[in-house]
Amino acid sequence: MKPNRLSKKVRSLISNKKAYEELLISAISPWEFCKLIEKGRLGIIGNPKEWLSAAFTMPKLRLVPLTPGIAYQSTILPPPFHNDPADQIIVATAQDQGATILTKDRLMLDYREASTLW
């Protein structure tokens, strides 16, 4: 992955560990990451399983499990939002945790029910 593909705001935020308490990763995000590799839309150096294991040793990073409450919340997001189940889970996870989503996804950025940054 190429950090230079992140926005200046996101790079600045994640490079300053004092700027945030923790970074959250939705349980669906590692699956999405692997699907992008599988489809050839994302390239990494090395084994994806090892890459993920190493990534989760990053300080202040927490994997948020997919709870029944988050699963339910993802099915009742106020319209308008698109029908991508993974994105619905990410938004519901962020709502549940009171978190801001770091994304360049235009549909998430435009969704008023989610706090986003890019």
- DSSP 8-state class, residue 19: G
Q: Which residue has the tokens 């950025």?
A: 109
pTM score of the predicted model = 0.88
Does 98 score more than 60 pLDDT?
yes
**In whole angstroms, what is the distance from residue 113 CA to residue 42 CA?**
28
The structural domains of the chain, ordered by start, are 3-117 (3.40.50.1010)
Q: What H or E segment, with its residue span, contains residue 40?
A: none
pLDDT in tens, 9-45: 998 888 888 888 899 999 999 999 999 999 999 988 8
Average pLDDT over residues 86-109: 97
Average pLDDT over residues 56-77: 96
Q: What is the pLDDT of residue 3?
A: 67
Does 84 score more than 90 pLDDT?
yes
Q: What percentage of the chain exceeds 90 in pLDDT?
A: 77
